[in-house]
C-alpha cells in the first residue's frame, strides 16, 4: 500500500535500479538481488517489489510465408486484416465545426474476443498469380497460432535496460536509516559483470537537492563576504560577522536535536541559505555602531563596546523577535477561515494544516537558527570585537617599536 506523501514526487524511499544490456541476465540478477535482500530481513522495509513481469500471456500469430507466397497474399495484407479486426481501421472522418473526429470500423466485442472468429476472418485480395482474380482466404489458412508468455514491459533509462526494486518504509523508521542498512547489505551481493546496481528514487533526489543547496550556500556566503569587505574594508570585522552564519547552523541542529523533529533536507537547506542573509544584519548593526561611537565620542575600546551593545540591544532583539513570532503561525500550521470570519464571524481556527508538512521545516529552521544566533551574538560578537581590536592595537604598538629599533 502506498503511503500518503507531501511535496513533489520523488519516488519511493527505497528504490534500487539494476541496469544491463542482456535482459535475460539482467532479470536473473534482479531476481537474485530481491531474494538476497529478502533473506537479509532488513528492518524497516515494508515489502520489496520488482517491476519485472515475466508471466504475461501472449498469443503469437506466425505467418506461414511459404503458403502465403503460394496463395499470392502478402504479409502486409495479413497483418492489416488482423489489426483492422482488433484495433479498427479509419473509414472516414466526421466534421463538427472546426473539429475532425475519425470514424473507426472494427469487429464487434463478441467477434474480437473469439479467437476462432478472428482466425476465420476473410482476407480479400487480388491474386496476381491467377490474372488478378479477386479472392478471399481465411486468416487461419496462412498463419499458425502459438501460445506463450512474455515480459510485461521493458524499461530503459539512459539507453540502458533497467529493472527496479522498490519498497516503502515502515512507520517508526526513517528512510535514511533503512537505505544505509541496504547499502551495507549490497556490498555482500555479487552481480554478473556488466550489471550495475545503484540506489535512486527519494535518496537520489535528496542527494541532488543537497548538492544544489550546498553550492547555493557557498555562493551566498561568498557574495555576503564581498559586500562586507566593501562596507568595512576589514577582514577582522567581515569574519566576525560571517561567524553568525556558523552560529545559526549550530542553533538549527541543536533545535532539531532538542525537539526531536525530523530534519527535511530540502526545506531545512533552504532555511539555512535564507538564514545566511538574515542573521548577518545583527552583526552589521552592532559592529557598525561600535565604530561610529568610537569615531564620534572618542571613547576607550571597552566603554565604546559596552555602550554600543546597550544601545543596540533592543533593536537587535526586537527585529529578531518580530521575525520569529511572524513565522510561528506558519510553523504551527495555523489556519483561519477568512470567508467565514468576515461573513459569520466564525474564523474556525485550527492548527496543523496541510501546508505545515511543507513550510513547517523551513519555518522552524529559521526560528531555531535566528533565536540561537541572536542570543549568542549579543554576547559573543562584542567579545570578539574587543579581542580583535586589542590584538590589533598590540600589533601596531609592536610594529612601531620594531620600526624605531630598526631606525636606531
Give tens-digit pLDDT for 66-77: 888 887 888 888
pLDDT for 306 equals 87
Using DSSP's 3-state secondary structure scheme, residue 59 falls into: strand
pLDDT for 151 equals 59
Higher pLDDT, 55 or 102: 102
pLDDT for 121 equals 81
pLDDT for 378 equals 82
Per-residue pLDDT band at 6 (split at 50, 70, 90)? very low
- Alpha-carbon gap, residue 29 to 26, rounded angstroms: 5
Alpha helices in 2-52 (DSSP H): 23-40
Give tens-digit pLDDT for 127-148: 776 677 788 888 888 888 877 7
How distant, in Å, are the alpha carbons of 75, 296, 311, 380 from that of 304? 97, 10, 11, 16
Sequence-separated (6 or more) residues with CB below 8 Å from residue 242 = 221, 224, 225, 228, 280
Per-residue pLDDT band at 7 (split at 50, 70, 90)? very low
What would the mean pLDDT of 209-235 be, rounded to a whole number?
85
* pLDDT over threshold 60, residue 80: yes
CATH H-level, domain 206-397: superfamily = Multidrug efflux transporter AcrB transmembrane domain (1.20.1640.10)
| % of the chain at pLDDT higher than 70 | 88
pLDDT for 47 equals 81
CA 259 to chain centre: 25
Q: What is the residue-averaged pLDDT of the chain?
A: 79
- The class that CATH gives domain 14-54+152-200 is alpha beta
pLDDT for 201 equals 72
pLDDT for 233 equals 83
* pLDDT over threshold 50, residue 4: no
* pLDDT over threshold 60, residue 8: no
Q: Which residue has the cell 523533529?
A: 261
Per-residue pLDDT band at 2 (split at 50, 70, 90)? very low
- Alpha-carbon gap, residue 111 to 54, rounded angstroms: 28
Higher pLDDT, 369 or 191: 369
- Alpha-carbon gap, residue 181 to 188, rounded angstroms: 12
Number of C-alpha atoms within 13 angstroms, CB side, residue 403?
A: 6
- Alpha-carbon gap, residue 262 to 172, rounded angstroms: 12
How do the domains of the chain map onto residue ranges? Answer: 14-54+152-200, 56-150, 206-397
Q: Are 56 and 152 in contact (CB under 8 A)?
A: yes
Number of C-alpha atoms within 13 angstroms, CB side, residue 275?
A: 32
- Alpha-carbon gap, residue 362 to 371, rounded angstroms: 14
Give tens-digit pLDDT for 19-63: 887 777 777 888 888 888 888 888 888 888 877 766 667 777 888
For the CA atoms of the chain, what is the radius of gyration? 37
Query: Environment class of residue 403 by beta-carbon count within 10 Å: exposed (0-12), middle (13-18) or buried (19+)?
Result: exposed
Give tens-digit pLDDT for 323-366: 888 888 888 877 777 777 777 777 777 676 667 777 888 888 88
What would the mean pLDDT of 258-278 be, rounded to a whole number?
82
Q: What does the block give as the cell for 147?
A: 501460445
Please state which of the four CATH numbers 1.25.10.10, 3.40.50.720, 3.40.190.10, 3.30.2090.10 is assigned to the domain occupying 56-150.
Answer: 3.30.2090.10
Q: Is the pTM of this model over 0.85?
A: no
Sequence-separated (6 or more) residues with CB below 8 Å from residue 394 = none
Amino acid at each position: 500500500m502506498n503511503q500518503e506523501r507531501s511535496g513533489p514526487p520523488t519516488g519511493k524511499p527505497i528504490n534500487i535500479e539494476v541496469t544491463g544490456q542482456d535482459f535475460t541476465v539482467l532479470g536473473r540478477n534482479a531476481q537474485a538481488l530481491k531474494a538476497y535482500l529478502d533473506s537479509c530481513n532488513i528492518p524497516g522495509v515494508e515489502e520489496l517489489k520488482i517491476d519485472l513481469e515475466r508471466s504475461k500471456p501472449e498469443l503469437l500469430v506466425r505467418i506461414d510465408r511459404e503458403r502465403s507466397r503460394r496463395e499470392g497474399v502478402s504479409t502486409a495484407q495479413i497483418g492489416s486484416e488482423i489489426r483492422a479486426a482488433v484495433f479498427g481501421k479509419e473509414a472516414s472522418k466526421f466534421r463538427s465545426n472546426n473539429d475532425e473526429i475519425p470514424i473507426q470500423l472494427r469487429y464487434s466485442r463478441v467477434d474480437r474476443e473469439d479467437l476462432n472468429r478472428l482466425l476465420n476472418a476473410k482476407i480479400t485480395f487480388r491474386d496476381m498469380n491467377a490474372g488478378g482474380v479477386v479472392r478471399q482466404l481465411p486468416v487461419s489458412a496462412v498463419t499458425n497460432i502459438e501460445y506463450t508468455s512474455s515480459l510485461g514491459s521493458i524499461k530503459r533509462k539512459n539507453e540502458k535496460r533497467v529493472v527496479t526494486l522498490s519498497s516503502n518504509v515502515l512507520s517508526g523508521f526513517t528512510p535514511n536509516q533503512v537505505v544505509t542498512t541496504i547499502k551495507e547489505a549490497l556490498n555482500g551481493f555479487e552481480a554478473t559483470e556488466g550489471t550495475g546496481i545503484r540506489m535512486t528514487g527519494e535518496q537520489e533526489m535528496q542527494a541532488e537537492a543537497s548538492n544544489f543547496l550546498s553550492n547555493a550556500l557557498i555562493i551566498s556566503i561568498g557574495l555576503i563576504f564581498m559586500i562586507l569587505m566593501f562596507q568595512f574594508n576589514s577582514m577582522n570585522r567581515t569574519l566576525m560577522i560571517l561567524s553568525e552564519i556558523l552560529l545559526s547552523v549550530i542553533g538549527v541542529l541543536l533545535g532539531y536535536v532538542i525537539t526531536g523533529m525530523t530534519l527535511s533536507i530540502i526545506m531545512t537547506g533552504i532555511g539555512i541559505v535564507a538564514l545566511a542573509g538574515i542573521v548577518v544584519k545583527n552583526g552589521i548593526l552592532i559592529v557598525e555602531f561600535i565604530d561610529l561611537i568610537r569615531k564620534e565620542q572618542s571613547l576607550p575600546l571597552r566603554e565604546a563596546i559596552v555602550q554600543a551593545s546597550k544601545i543596540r540591544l533592543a533593536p537587535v532583539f526586537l527585529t529578531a523577535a518580530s521575525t520569529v513570532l511572524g513565522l510561528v503561525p506558519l510553523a504551527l500550521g495555523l489556519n483561519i477561515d477568512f470567508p467565514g470570519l468576515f461573513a459569520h464571524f466564525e474564523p474556525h481556527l485550527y492548527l496543523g494544516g496541510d501546508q505545515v508538512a511543507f513550510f513547517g521545516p523551513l519555518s522552524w529552521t529559521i526560528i531555531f537558527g535566528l533565536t540561537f544566533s541572536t542570543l549568542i551574538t549579543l554576547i559573543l560578537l562584542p567579545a570578539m570585537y574587543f579581542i580583535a581590536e586589542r590584538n590589533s592595537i598590540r600589533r601596531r604598538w609592536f610594529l612601531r617599536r620594531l620600526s624605531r629599533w630598526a631606525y636606531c
